[in-house]
Amino acid sequence: MTTGDSWRERRRALPDGGQAAEITAALLDEMGTDDRDDEEIEAEHRASRLAALREYDPQARLDEELQLRLTGPDTEAGALRFQWGDALLRPVEAALSAAAGTPVQLELTGISAGSTVVHARPVAVAAPQDSPTLNAPASSTASMGMGTLAKLLNALESQSDVREWAKLFDTVETLSRALGKYGLDLGMTWYNGEGGSRRAQLTERGRSHVERLRATRDRDQEMVISGRITELRESGWVKVKTGTAKNAYAYDVRFEEPDELLRMRPGLGDNVHFRVRFRQRLDAVGIARSTEYTYLGPAAEQTSLSVEP
Are 172 and 273 contained in the same domain?
A: no
Per DSSP bridges, beta strands 116-122 and 185-191 are unpaired
Three-state secondary-structure class, residue 2? coil
Where do the DSSP E strands lie in 25-155?
65-71, 106-112, 116-122
pLDDT of 177 reads 94
- Whole-number average pLDDT of the chain: 81
Predicted pLDDT of residue 45: 74
Give yes or no: residues 207 and 225 share one domain. Answer: no
The residues pairing with 290 across neighbouring beta strands, listed in sequence order, are 281
Q: Is residue 130 part of a domain?
A: no
Whether 74 and 170 share a structural domain? yes
Residue 108 and residue 156 in one domain = yes
204 and 95 fall within a common domain: yes
Residue 217 near residue 282, CB atoms below 8 Å = yes
Per-residue pLDDT, 138: 43
Q: How many domains does the chain have?
A: 3
**Which is nearest to 209 in space by CA: 286, 146, 155, 151?**
155
CA–CA gap between residue 70 and residue 64 (Å, rounded): 20
Residues 2 and 98 in one domain: no
State whether 116 and 251 are in the same domain: no
Answer yes or no: is pLDDT of 57 > 60: yes
Give the per-residue pLDDT at 205. Answer: 95
Length of the chain, in residues:
309
Is the per-residue pLDDT at 19 higher than 50? Answer: yes
Q: What are the start-end ranges of the H helices in 198-302?
A: 204-214, 258-264
Among 18-22, 112-116, 129-133, 203-207, where is mean pLDDT lowest?
129-133
- Asked whether residue 77 falls in the same domain as residue 62, the answer is yes
d(CA 25, CA 29): 6
Tens of pLDDT, residue by residue over 197-210, are: 889 999 999 999 99
- Return the minimum-mean-pLDDT range out of 27-31, 157-161, 294-298: 27-31
Percent of the chain scoring above 70 in pLDDT: 79
21 is in which domain, residue-wise? 1-30
